[in-house]
Structure 1
Amino acid sequence: MVQFGYTLSSEEHGPDRLVDLAVRAEEAGFDFISISDHFHPWVSAQGESPFVWSTLGAIARETDEIEIGVGVTCPIIRIHPVNVAHAVATIQVMADGRFTFGVGTGENLNEHVTGERWPEHQVRLEMLDESMHVMRELWTGENVSYHGEHYTVENAKLFTVPEEIPAIVVSAFGPKTARMAAAKGDGLWCSGPKADVVEAYEEAGGEGPTYTQLHNCYAETEEEAIDTVYELWPNGSIPGELGQELPSPAHFEQAAELVEREDVVESGAVTGPDPEAHVESLQAAIDAGYDHVYVHQIGDEQERAIAFYEEVILPEVR
Structure 2
Amino acid sequence: MPTRFGYTLMTEQAGPKDLVRFAVGAEEAGFDFEVSSDHYFPWLSSQGHAPYAWSVLGAVAHATERVELMTYVTCPTVRYHPAIVAQKAATLQILADGRFTLGLGSGENLNEHVVGQGWPSVADRQDMLAEAIEIIRKLHTGDLVDFRGEFFQVDAARIWDLPDTPVPIGVAVAGDAGIETFGPLADHLIAVEPNAGLIESWNAQEGTGTIDGEKTRAIGQIPISWGPDRDAAVERAHDQFRWFAGGWDVNADLRTTAGFAAATQYVTPDDVAENIPCGPDLDRIVDAVKPYWEAGFTDVALVQIGGETQDEFLREAAPELLEKLRTASN
TM-score norm. by structure 1 comes to 0.96
Which residue of 2 is the match for residue 32 of structure 1? 33
Q: Secondary structure at the match of 1:314?
A: helix
Matched, 1:317 2:318: no
**Equivalent residue number for residue 213 of structure 2:** none
In the other structure, the counterpart of 1:284 is: 291
Pick one of 297, 300, 318 that aligns with 1:293: 300
Q: How does 1:95-106 map to 2 (within 5 A)?
A: 95-106=96-107
User: How far off is 1:294 after superposition?
Assistant: 1.1
Matched-pair contact (CA < 8 Å) for 1:38–1:110: yes
Q: Structure 1, residues 64-108: CA drift from partner, whole Å, max 9, x if none?
A: 111011100000111101111111111000001100110000101
Match for residue 3 of structure 2? 2
Query: Which residue of structure 2 aligns with residue 202 of structure 1?
Result: 203
Contact 1:212 1:293 in 2 (8 A): yes
Gap change, CA 1:212 and 1:80, over 3 Å in 2? same
**What letter corresponds to residue 13 of structure 1 in structure 2?**
A
Cα pair 1:181 1:188 within 8 Å, conserved: no
Aligned amino acid, residue 189 of structure 2:
L
Kindly provide the amino acid, as one letter, of the partner of residue 261 in structure 1.
P
Picking from 250, 255, 278, the partner of 1:271 is 278
Which amino acid in the other structure matches residue 256 of structure 1? T
Q: 2:273 and 2:248 mapped to 1: Cα distance?
A: 17
| Offset at residue 307 of structure 1 (A) | 2.8
Amino acid at match of 1:176: A
Deviation at 1:7, TM superposition (A): 0.4
CA distance in structure 1 between the partners assigned to 2:258 and 2:69 by the alignment? 31
Q: Which moved more, 1:178-187 or 1:242-251?
A: 178-187
1:155-166 equivalences under 5 Å are 155-166=156-167
Distance 1:307 1:251 in 2: 35
Paired AA for residue 134 in structure 1: I
Q: Distance in 1 between matches of 2:132 and 2:119?
A: 16
Partner of 1:262: 270
Of 199, 219, 233, the match for 2:241: 233
**Distance of 1:274 and 1:317 partners within structure 2:** 13
1:213 to 207, 216, 221: 221
Tell me which amino acid in the other structure corresponds to 1:303: D
Count, aligned residues:
317
CA contact (8 A) 1:143 1:156 kept: yes
User: Contact 2:30/2:319 (CA < 8 Å) preserved in 1?
Assistant: no
Alignment partner, residue 305 of structure 1: 313
Aligned counterpart for 1:246 among listed residues 240, 244, 254: 254
CA RMSD of aligned residues (A): 1.4
Match of 2:255, SS? Answer: coil
Cα separation, partners in 2 of 1:31 and 1:309, compared to 1, 3 Å: farther
Q: Are the aligned partners of 1:217 and 1:271 in contact in 2 as well (CA < 8 Å)?
A: yes
Cα displacement (A) at 1:117: 2.5
SS at match of 2:184: helix
Would you say the 8 A contact 1:216–1:296 is kept in 2? yes
Maintained 8 Å contact 1:270/1:278: yes
Q: Note closer, same or farther for the CA distance 1:174–1:297 as it changes in structure 2 (3 Å cut).
A: same
Residue 258 of structure 1 aligns to which amino acid in structure 2?
A: Y
2:70 aligned partner: 69
Among all aligned residue pairs of Structure 1 and Structure 2, give the percentage whose two residues are the same amino acid. 36
Is 1:149 equivalent to 2:150 in the alignment? yes
Distance 1:309 1:225 in 2: 14
The residue number in structure 2 matching 1:135 is 136
CA drift of 1:280 comes to: 1.4
Aligned equivalents of 1:223, 1:180: Cα separation in 2: 44
Aligned pairs (5 A) from 1:163-174: 163-174=164-175
2:314 and 2:194 mapped to 1: Cα distance? 21
Unaligned runs of 5+ in 2: 210-215
Q: In the alignment, is the contact (CA less than 8 A) between 1:37 and 1:51 conserved in 2?
A: yes
Deviates more, 1:180-189 or 1:209-218: 180-189
In the alignment, is the contact (CA less than 8 A) between 2:134 and 2:185 conserved in 1? no
The answer (yes or no) to whether the contact 1:182–1:204 under 8 Å persists in 2 is yes
Q: TM-score, normalised by structure 2?
A: 0.93
Letter in 1 for 2:268: E
How far the C-alpha of 1:240 sits from its partner, in A, is 5.3
Identify the residue that residue 230 of structure 2 maps to in structure 1: 222
State the Cα deviation string for residues 261-288 of structure 1 (Å, max 9, x = none).
122023x211111111111122221001
For 1:247, the aligned partner's letter is R
Distance across 1 between alignment mates of 2:270 and 2:318: 30
Query: In structure 1, what residue type is equivalent to 2:242?
Result: P
